[in-house]
């Protein structure tokens, strides 16, 4: 199966054997264009990773707030099934 190449800038279909670095239609530097596109995708991927990490940290942060609140009110933590208090007293 032959894979067609397309110009990433103007979308012109290029021959599989087209090896010149510039698009014949718009003259864009194909190698460099793709390189920049890859960099862009890498940056987006990195941003997504940082965002998910940030959300995770925020969740931990909220968990700490809930934990502190529960300790202050003497309530069992919402994510603990068996209340620690009963075990202590019984």
Instruction: Look at residue 20 and give its three-state secondary structure.
Output: coil
Instruction: Enter the tokens of residue 33.
Output: 């264009």
Q: Which is nearer to Zn ion, 10 or 46 (CB)?
A: 10
Please identify, using beta-carbon distances, which residue of 12 and 77 lies nearer to Zn ion. 12
Task: Count CB-CB contacts under 10 A for residue 70.
Answer: 15
The CB-of-22 to Zn ion minimum distance in angstroms stands at 8
CB of 42 to Zn ion, least distance (A): 23
Q: Select 35 or 54, whichever has its Cβ closest to Zn ion.
A: 35
Shortest reach from residue 10's CB to Zn ion, in Å: 3
Q: CB of residue 2 vs Zn ion: minimum separation in angstroms?
A: 20
The span from the CA of 80 to the CA of 88, in Å, is 15
Write out the residues near Zn ion by the rule CB under 5 A: 7, 9-10, 12, 23, 25-26, 28
Cα 9 to Cα 11: distance, rounded to the nearest angstrom = 6
Q: Which two tokens stand for residue 21?
A: 């670095």
């Amino acid at each position: 199966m032959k894979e067609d190449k397309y110009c990433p800038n103007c979308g012109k279909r290029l021959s599989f054997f087209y090896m010149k670095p510039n698009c014949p239609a718009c003259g864009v530097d194909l190698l460099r264009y793709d390189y920049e596109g890859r960099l862009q995708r890498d940056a987006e991927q990195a941003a997504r990773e940082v965002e998910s990490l940030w959300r995770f940290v925020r969740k931990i942060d909220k968990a700490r707030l809930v934990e502190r609140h529960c300790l202050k009110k003497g309530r069992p933590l919402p994510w603990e099934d068996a209340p620690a208090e009963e075990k202590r007293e019984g």
